[in-house]
Amino acid sequence: MERHSQRLFRIVFVGLLISTSAVFADPTVLATVNGRPISVNDVQGDLFLNQLPEHATPEQRRATIERLIDRELIRGFLTRRKVVAHEDDVERQVQAIKRLLEAKNEGYEETLAKVGLTEESLRDYLALPIAWSQHVGTVLTESRIAEEWKQSGSHFDGTKVTASHIVRIVPKDAPDSDWQDAESLLERVRADVVAGRLTFAEAAQENSQSPSGKLGGSLGEFEYFGRIAESISRIAFHLPSGEISEPVRTPFGVHLIRVEKRTPGDLSLEDVRPQLIEQITKELWDDQVARERKSARIEVH
């Protein structure tokens, strides 16, 4: 997480140098989490720090508010646990930012002002992932790492699958009846393919609403992370070669996925240990957020 924060702020502050209009002055409260406000300032700042447009879509703004709610929940959890980011770690990141700005002939205070940040808010933003990493360091055991490797080692060891899919596109905000209609159609398509009445490629050409349908639904060869959305690779990596999934929902719509070939990777746990720990850290974050949300007082205005 600390390395991630450093990378993020290097990217962000390079972006600052060509953007001078991001001044977030509207303090309107958009949500509260256990009485603590999330303001327009917070949303605008988070959009900028995540390299999203200042004039974001309603969907992007909703996602940003949810992300800030998650951060506030984790902040509260860490406060209860009395976990405080080591000041020297925060200071190292601040100094790295100052050096980057100096190399670009940009003033530190001036640049913060351009994007509506203060010294305090910058340090606060940097401190949260550092504190979370400190917490993870106290709870992450070798047995948890070994179990994660056993369950999902193929996600990290260079394993590749060759797969195809058929998708019926359904907007996220569509009524559930639209999702059910897409699922029913793909259930019938799957039955036809399994019965041998047509091949998967033929079914894709006739029914898929993805450009890949013209290619028989081919997604090519891919690793778990990277070229293919994780919502699809997650299904593909757990399918035996030659099998077709049941209809599955993703953010894009409803899919049938077929794996043609699996090529095992040859990287060891020690080769990918940092990436595996980063994934576990994210899972622990998501799990804790889910627990916190059960009892939190959250109001979105």
Q: Cα(299)–Cα(301) distance, rounded to whole angstroms?
A: 6
The SS3 call for residue 107 is coil
Closest Cα to residue 262, out of 291, 292, 239? 239
The SS3 call for residue 166 is strand
Query: Which tens digit of pLDDT belongs to each residue from 210-225?
Result: 999 999 999 999 999 9
- CATH number, span 2-146+279-300: 1.10.4030
**Segments making up each domain of the chain, as ranges:** 2-146+279-300, 158-263
**Do 162 and 233 contact (CB within 8 A), yes or no?**
no
> Which pLDDT belongs to residue 101?
82
> Which pLDDT belongs to residue 191?
98
Could you tell me whether strands 218-222 and 160-169 are parallel, antiparallel, or unpaired per DSSP bridges? antiparallel
User: pTM for this one?
Assistant: 0.74
The encoded tokens of residue 155 equal 């996600």
Strand ranges in 102-237 using DSSP code E only, listed in sequence order: 160-169, 218-222
> Which pLDDT belongs to residue 51?
65
> Which CATH number, 3.40.50.880, 3.90.1170.50, 3.10.50.40, 3.90.1150.10, labels domain 158-263?
3.10.50.40
Residue 197 makes CB contacts below 8 A (sequence gap 6+) with none
pLDDT over 90 (residue 192): yes
Query: Which tens digit of pLDDT belongs to each residue from 10-55?
Result: 444 444 433 333 333 345 888 999 999 988 878 877 776 676 776 7
Q: Cα(154)–Cα(160) distance, rounded to whole angstroms?
A: 8
Q: Chain centroid to CA 291: how far?
A: 19
Torsion 151-155-158-164 (CA) sign: positive
Same fold: 2-146+279-300 with 158-263: no
> Which pLDDT belongs to residue 48?
66
